[in-house]
A and B are shown apart, each in its own frame.
Chain A
Amino acid sequence: MDHPAHTITESQNMRTTRHVFNVILRDPLALISTVIIIFFILIAIFAPFVAPYPDQGQGSTNASDTMHPPSAKFLLGADRLGRDILSRIIYGARPALVVPIGVVLFAVLIGAPLGALAGYKGGWVDEVIMRITDLFLAFPSLLLAMAIAASIGRGLDKAAIALVVSWWPWYTRIARGAAVSLKEQYFVEAAQAIGVSDTVIIFKHILPNTLSPILVQATVDLGTVILAMGGLAFIGLGTQPPSPDWGLMISEGRTFILDQWWISTYPGIAIFIVVLAFNLLGDTLRDIFDPRQYK
């Protein structure tokens, strides 16, 4: 069974999706950013086929070419263990992109329903959820993530868990704001009037309509989460050697920065370009629908 109100919101969603595509196609910066992001996602997926030295990309050492400067053999040079930097950047795109996308996804999956519940229910439920949220927001996010990552043990997966724990409250806040204004709308009141249960209302009517502000915020956050993952790896709490990771590569080359500058410089450029692309895309999306209007 479909409520008429629900059908209307669905067609609205379709229309906004098409609108977003049109805007991205027309805005050159957003288009380039999207192309860059897709490019990096593709090389992350097809890493074994595009990397010149797939085994070195994954960590196996090559003692005969330590600190090899950029050349025809190693386009971007080789590191302390003789591994091709280009191959490691290509393999490093996996943790750099896939993991932050997963982090934001899980943070949304935890944060958004809680926020929708708080906003829709109000009263003590709202009070309890939002006060807990406030506690997590009282920390600088990265500091909290560092402390959690250190205590549950180092590693890419642990760093990801730590970031999810410190990131979900942001989405709770946004979803709550959206839910509070949606609660007053006719289609929600109509659903209540015909006796639809709260759970169904929250998941079928409230949550889908909080999606657009949350998606915008998530795109904007992706750049920040990529930086945070890189930062955790840089100080030694994220990906552990010999796995490839851009932040870790920068840290590994730090000691040799004045002479073998290529070890740190190229992975740094990779992080910078990807974060820049997400920020530019996020800016465009934010111009289309400003998530702050729900706060």
Chain B
Amino acid sequence: MRAFEFIFRRILTAIFVLIGVSLITFSISHVVPTDTAALYLGSTRARPADLERIRIKLGLDRPLPVQYAIYMKDLVHGDLGDSIATKRPVLQELTDRLSATLELLFFGMFIATLIGVPLGVLSARWQSTWADVFVRIISIVGVSMPAFYLGLLMQIAFFRNLDLFPLSGRVDSNLRFTNPIDPVTSFFLLDTFLTSNWIALKDVFHHLVLPGFTLAAYPIGLIARMNRAAMLEVLGQDYIRTARAYGIRERVITYLYALKNAISPTLTVIGLTVAYALTGTFFVEVIFNWPGLGLFTVRSLLALDYPAIMGMTLLGASGYVLINLIVDLLQMWVDPRIRLK
């Protein structure tokens, strides 16, 4: 019952936050000095009559509160407006690109967790040895390296010098004719696997490696550092000392007793880094020409495509709120003390 109440309250808060968020995104796009109608017509020297017509069509002649009410009404009906640049519905543009970004994001976070957590454990177990120093160097370099620079270095090293991985894109364009991908889920790794399209699977994986690792660098650094701190805190507690006094092997203590209790803070950090990685995908997608939300958003930002910008900020904030909600629920499941509070 308590758990249910907790979940209900968290979801209710999330809804209120999102309503506030929509107010902020609306304000951002309406304090603008530029003329949206002129942008829509693609010219600043359009005839005044045409501008007026567009203004009325887009509802720009109404008072701001009315515009917000209309915006919210459309939003509830799943209508985010039409992109000024492509004239297609923003929702369509976003959903078309969502899977490419999510695939990259999941792949990056998967690598980051797989590398970051063991690094943190290693570092804490061998505190103040060369292993610890090594891990701390990796983690500080990871969080100090700009993604928009690391991506270029990856391209120089692994495409130009070693020719191991492709330069950019999500899939080789020739595959369209030889081994076309059947978009079951639009997650290419999954699609090619489900349809046993092994040649395409290998190609998709090859395309994922460089952007994936570029994206993972920052999360690896942060997760390793936070996991190390969490492990050290747990390892300093009385029950660990007791376990040591009983002569339980250090390996068992580290992996069985300590790691379990370090999971809760690590989960929080992983949730936090997903948010960082979300904005990280923008740079990674620009560098690797990845056909996802980030590339679309950057183009929209530069073209001042407001409906698209509003849609993306709203989606980004919703994603962030959702991630936090999931982390809270996971923590409640991992750590019963939170449930009882």
Contacts and interface: CB of A to CB of B under 8 A. Distances in A.
Contacts of A227: 146
Contact of B152 (A235, A254, A275): A254
Contacts of A257: 152, 155-156
Given A235-B302, A236-B302, A258-B155, A275 B33 contact: no
Interface in B292-308: 297-298, 301-302, 304, 306
B144 A234 contact: no
Contacts of B140: 276, 279-280, 283
Interface in A247-279: 247, 250-251, 254, 257-258, 261, 264-265, 268, 271-272, 275-276, 279
B38 interface: no
Nearest to B143: A279
A237 interface: yes
B146 A271 contact: yes
A231 interface: yes
Contacts of A235: 282-283, 286, 298, 301-302
Contact of B28 (A141, A151, A237): A151
B196 to A, nearest CB: 35
B87 to A, nearest CB: 20
A268 B149 contact: yes
A153 B25 CA distance: 16
Given A138-B17, A279-B143, A231 B152 contact: no
A216 B24 CA distance: 29
Provide the main secondary structure of the chain B interface: helix
A151 B304 contact: yes
Scoring A231, A261, A275, A283 by chain B CB atoms within 10 A of each residue's CB, the highest score goes to: A231
Interface residues of A, number: 44
B145 A147 contact: no
B257 interface: no
B320 interface: yes
Provide the main secondary structure of the chain A interface: helix
A20 interface: no
B10 interface: no
Interface string A119-161: 0000000000001001110111111101111111100000000
B156 A135 contact: no
Contact of A147 (B18, B28, B153, B275): B28
B33 A271 contact: no
A230 B23 CA distance: 28
A230 B146 contact: yes
A143 B298 CA distance: 10
Contacts of B118: none
Interface in A59-76: none
A148 B310 CA distance: 11
A138 B317 contact: yes
Given A143-B282, A151-B28, 18 more contacts: A135-B17, A135-B23, A138-B20, A139-B24, A143-B313, A147-B25, A149-B301, A150-B302, A235-B298, A247-B148, A257-B152, A265-B152, A268-B149, A275-B145, A276-B144, A279-B140, A280-B140, A283-B140
Interface of B: 17-18, 20-21, 23-25, 28-29, 31-34, 140-141, 143-149, 152-153, 155-156, 159-160, 275-276, 278-279, 282-283, 286-287, 297-298, 301-302, 304, 306, 309, 312-313, 316-317, 320-321
17 contacts: A135-B21, A138-B17, A138-B20, A138-B21, A139-B21, A140-B278, A143-B279, A143-B316, A143-B317, A151-B306, A153-B33, A223-B143, A235-B301, A237-B301, A247-B148, A268-B149, A275-B144
